[in-house]
Amino acid sequence: MHTKTIAQLAQGLRTGDYSSQELTEAYLARITQHQDLNSFITVTEHQAIAAAKQADAILAAGDAPFLTGVPIAHKDIFCTLGVKTSCGSKMLDKFISPYNATVVEKFNAAGAVSLGKLNMDEFAMGSSNETSFYGAVKNPWAIDCVPGGSSGGSAAAVAARLIPGATGTDTGGSIRQPAALCGITGLKPTYGRVSRYGMVAYASSLDQGGPMAQTAEDAALMLQAMAGFDPKDSTSVDCAVPDYSAGLNNSLAGLKIGLPKEFFDEALNSEMAATIEAAINEYKKMGAEITEVSMPNLKLAIPAYYVIAPAECSANLSRLDGVRYGHRCENPADLNDLYIRSRGEAFGTEVKRRILVGTYALSEGYYDAYYIKAQKIRRLISDDFNKALEQVDVIMGPVSPTPAFGIGEKTDDPIEMYLADIYTIAINLAGLPAMSIPAGFIDNKPVGLQIIGNYFDEAKLLNVAHQYQQVTDWHQQTPKGFE
């Protein structure tokens, strides 16, 4: 059963091939069997089985939502009622959420069964899932390599078929990059498409939740459940949610694909470039037209991002001070000592680094020189994408400059680690939707193709991805030992 997609599992539940309880117990057994991947922080076995029994009763009664009884899991950044929500940090190691995030509520309403909470880089800060308080997640394709981050636990669990689908969040590539490194499908929706209520904030103007699954069809089903306006989220956009599955089989004849020349420079691994080119050729066979586009300000994306994101992180994490919730040091001498030791003991190195950078960028005398300038660059980058998308339907390119790298390989060089997101960060600055789909392998390590679309045009992205998956089988490959 574990090799089936969400769409296949949902259909099997309806036809009575198996019950949700049987399905849930089978996945829970696989999670136990493959604990060495370290993909889960919390497994909610008892709650999952109870939810599965309830799903079976709803299925038996008829007229159940499509995802009823299908197991999933949530990145441990989504608040979940009565369950630890740690964000991969010692700071929240003992925090039990008193409410559900809107995304969690939506999946509950859709009938999905949550199996637990997935490992992640601490407060979503990282590109390798090595900054987690609970230890590094391993890539099922190469156990000595990283799965990507920050949604590495989600990507590894889906790739190893421990769950058929998972939620993730993307601030600068944190859905797409791990999806690419683990050979699964991951979608970052348009900023504002999915509610951020109850999703612990890293950088509020960049964060966006999205689905991670085996196929584009599954991503469409998950996004259908996740998307929609939420009055509890001031950044949520009030616009209609289309039927994401309706147009999956539309023809791609005449589709205009833009290739940014800035994506295919000397920074791109030559084997990676060849793999991406082979994927583009498949689209040519389906009748797509290829056009070169230019976005001259893309080279400024990383410096702009690493001013804006740390600045917002500095503000957001200021609430974690040992007073109201989170880790509290023992026997503080005074209030200042409480702040210093609680934060010093509970935050990891990367989180401290970004808080310091962000606080500096927002400080008097530097706000105009750094933060305001970075926001101006952000507008230029957005304008570049808007101009390109006036000429083409979608933009394509690599997700990552290289396949998965070794655990520990880049931990001593934060700049090198930041460059792992060189092809993804600009999309978050612009607020556009983008996704990664499996497009091949280099030395048995997966490669992802990135597809970028116009605002709120996720249906087009899913159609483009689904059609590619009808003529290739990269998305069906399973890591050795996890068949």
Active site residues: 75, 150, 174
Cβ atoms of 435 and 188 within 8 Å: the answer is yes
Token pair for 341: 């030791």
Q: How far is CA 249 from CA 212, 246, 285, in A?
A: 20, 8, 16
Contacts with 431 (C-beta within 8 Å, 6 or more apart), sequence order: 190, 191, 192, 382, 455
Token pair for 422: 């060189």
The edge-to-edge listing of strands for the beta sheet with 40-43 is 40-43, 113-118, 71-75, 165-170, 208-213, 185-188, 434-442, 445-452, 394-398, 256-260, 289-293
| Among the listed residues 267, 263, 354, 347, the one whose alpha carbon sits nearest the alpha carbon of residue 306 | 354
Ramachandran angles phi, psi of 109, nearest 5°: -65, -30
Strand pairing report for 40-43 and 113-118: antiparallel
- Backbone φ/ψ region at 406: left (φ over 0), alpha (ψ -120 to 50), beta: beta
Gap between the Cα atoms of 196 and 403, Å rounded: 30
Contacts with 18 (C-beta within 8 Å, 6 or more apart), sequence order: 1, 12
Cα torsion 173, 84, 37, 405: sign: positive
Gap between the Cα atoms of 382 and 248, Å rounded: 27
